[in-house]
Structure formats: structure tokens, C-alpha cells
Structure 1
Amino acid sequence: MDMQQAGQRAEEILDGTMEAIQPPVKWVRGVAMESACSTGLNEPTGTTTVMRGRNILTVVSAHRRGELLAMVQRYLESQGFGDFDIDHDEKMPELRATAADGLTVILGVGSIGNVNVDAGFGCVRDSEMTYPKGTPFRPGGPKKVERIPHEHSPYWSATGAPQ
């Protein structure tokens, strides 16, 4: 797999993940990251790690975070992901899953309640790569990355215990 294919596969699974969250949340593209792989002696290998992401702008209350993780886990399972590692930390839960092709997805809740979903491959073949419109710091994308949730949802932002 090359960098372009890896980026496209990551974008597809991230789009599907966002569509699987119901009721829908508001989100924006996260920063696309690439990092050259090396032999450990700073010698290039002709491969690069490729990561893409989504920042959820809807406030997800602490009472709804477990439900969000479970919903994303069900979607990823339906897409063939396995090897789940779930941290049920009350304040900053995290889910990590890997597909047979090596794609890893991480959903994490930050210290201020910000929710990010990242997907990527480690060390794919170097190639040219394009980015979807709206990718931060890429042509046509924003110069600033939105990360702080500020949209309110009657469902996801509810502070009472889920029913």
C-alpha cells in the first residue's frame, strides 16, 4: 500500500465512523500527519506513517462518552476491525482497534472533553498524496484547527444519566 491509498482508506473509515454516530455530531477534519519511517539510525526506508483525523465539535457529556465508544466499536466491528483495546477511564476513555490490513483507529477523549478520532497506517510505501478539501494546513483548508467542542446537542450534551 502507498501513501495515497493509505490516506484514502483512512478517510473512508473516518467518514463511515462519523456517519455511524447517531444522532449525528458536528465534526471537522483534523490535521493530516505524515512521518518518515527510519531504520532507527535515521536512515530512510522509503516508507511513511500516514494519519488522518476528525475532531468532534459537539460537546459529549461524561454520561454519554461510554455510549459513544460502544457505538464506534460496533461500527468498527462491522467493518472487520478486531484487536480492540479499550480504556474505560471515567474522564478520558479511549478505544483503539486494528483492521487486518493494518489500519489503526483511535477514539480518544481529551482532558477538556474534546473527542478525536484518528486513523492511520504505519510505514506505507512513499508516494505523492492528495488531501480532501477542508484538511487543515493544506490548500483550501483552514489555517487554524478547531479542537474545542462548542456545539450543543440535546442528546450528546445531556448531563443527566443516559436512559
Structure 2
Amino acid sequence: MFGRAWLVGCALMVAALAACGAGDGQNGTEGQGKKKQKAPTMDMQQAGQRSETILDGTLAAIRPPVKWAYGAPVEAACSTGLNEPTGTTTVTRSRNILTVVSEQRRGNLLGLVQRYWERQGFRIVDVNSDKDMPRIRARDAEGFTVSLDVGSIGNVSVSAGLSCAVNSAMTYPTGTPGHPGGPKAEELRPRERSDFWSSSEPFRQ
């Protein structure tokens, strides 16, 4: 059940990226009467590297620090409305937070990450304030989408990606699941304790 919940969140992230690409004209032909936007200039390798940099900065901004592990990367081929290939692919990278974040401290985490993203030039495009599975999503001027999601049992993941980058070979950081130097399967379940993030006491400033 846990793995399924994470995969659903990842699928939602890819769908959101694909929607962004379609709106930018990077996903093939646009509706009649709309001006076609410029073609993508970033390839998959560049998109993957930039996504990892965004995630590095996001995790570094979380204080007190949290333990994390690389999530499985996702690539989804982009196509036109007629299911024709475009030579572009949506690239998504993610990190799974292994520190237990209590329900009482989730708001602190989401708020801290949201403020960091806004300082980096991201614009918040979606906020889900669900009590059990909150989410925030933002986008920058380059077209990168970032998302912080709380899963069904309190697991937290952070994703970043770009819709419809030009097809190319890619490399992955050591430790990426399913790639050389990484585990065969993702580390999903939070297990590390933190005096701050795992506390069940309401935070008072």
C-alpha cells in the first residue's frame, strides 16, 4: 500500500508536468488560434541535473536537517494530441525524507519549503491543505515544477522536474535506485527520529 501511494503521487507530478508542457507549446501542436511557443532548448541530461540542483537546495534549506534518500527517477515520453512522438520527454527526480515528520510539524515543514521556493523565484501554483495528505506545488520561469507531498502514512517526498525536454542520454547521482551505485528498490518508509520534526508537541515560536 505504501509503495502504491508514492507511485500515485509520482504519477500526479508527471501529469502536472505534462500539463505545464502542453500549456507552453512544448508538447506538440496547440489549439487553433493560439500562438505556438518556442521549442524546448534544454535536453534530458540538463533537465535532470537542474532538477537535482533544485532538490539539493530544497533539502539544504530544511532546518533542523532531515535524513533523505534518492527517489526513483521518472521519464515519460511527450506526444501530440494524436499520440505522435515529439522527440521530447518529461523528466522528474525526487527525494524521500527518511526523518519522521509528525502531524504537528508538517505545517512547519511545508511553510519552510514554500518560503524557500518563493525566495528562489518559484510561484506557488497549487496548495492542498488536506489534514492527512497536504501538498504544495510551484513553478519557475524556466518551466520547472517542484512539489512537496505528504503520503498516506505520513511519508514525505520532494520532486522536481521539467516537462518535455529534448531526448538525450542521462546520468544519475550515485545512490539513485535502479542505477549503478544505488539500491535496487527505493527507501520509502521514514524511520529516523528528530527531536524537532518528530515531536508530537505543537510548535510555538
- Relative to the length of structure 1, the TM-score reads 0.97
What is the Cα deviation at residue 124 of structure 1? 0.8
Q: Distance in 2 between matches of 1:24 and 1:15?
A: 12
Letter in 1 for 2:97: I
SS of structure 1 residue aligned to 2:96: strand
Structure 1: which 4+ aligned runs deviate by more than 2 Å? Answer: none
Aligned to 1:63: 104
Deviation at 1:85, TM superposition (A): 1.7
1:106-121 equivalent positions in 2, closer than 5 A: 106-121=147-162
Counterpart CA distance in 1 for 2:148 and 2:134 is: 8
Aligned partners of 2:201, 2:124: CA distance in 1, in Å?
A: 32
Structure 1 counterpart of 2:88, from 34, 47, 50 = 47
Residue in structure 1 matched with residue 63 of structure 2 by the alignment: 22
Deviations 1:67-99 (A, max 9, x none): 100100111111110133211111111000000
Partner SS state of residue 48, structure 1:
strand
- Over the aligned positions, Cα root-mean-square deviation in angstroms equals 0.9
Q: 1:33 aligns with which of 74, 96, 102?
A: 74
Q: Distance in 2 between matches of 1:141 and 1:40?
A: 36
Work out the CA distance in 2 between the residues paired with 1:120 and 1:126. 14
Number of aligned positions between the proteins: 163
Q: Which residue identity is paired with 2:193?
A: H
- Highest relative contact order (Cα 8 Å, sep 6+), 1 or 2? 1
- Other-structure match for 1:88: 129
CA contact (8 A) 1:66 1:88 kept: no
* Separation of aligned partners in 2, 1:83 and 1:15: 19
How far did 1:140 drift?
Answer: 1.3
> Which is richer in helix?
2
Instruction: Measure the CA separation in 2 of the matches of 1:117 and 1:40.
Output: 29
TM-score (norm 2): 0.78
CA distance in 2, matches of 1:135, 1:34: 14
Q: Distance in 2 between the 1:40 and 1:110 partners?
A: 32
Which one has a larger percent strand, Structure 1 or Structure 2?
A: 1
Distance 1:49 1:84 in 2: 19
How far apart are 1:40 and its partner, in Å? 3.3
Cα contact 2:122–2:140 (8 A) shared by 1: yes
Q: Distance in 2 between matches of 1:124 and 1:148?
A: 31
Which of 1 and 2 has greater Rg?
2
* Matches of 2:124 and 2:175, distance apart in 1: 31
Shift of 1:57: 0.4
3-state SS in 2 of match to 1:157: coil
Which structure 1 residue ranges, 5 or more long, are not aligned? Answer: none
Q: Whole-Å Cα distance in 1 between the matches of residues 117 and 142 of structure 2? A: 13
Q: What residue in structure 2 maps to residue 103 of structure 1?
A: 144
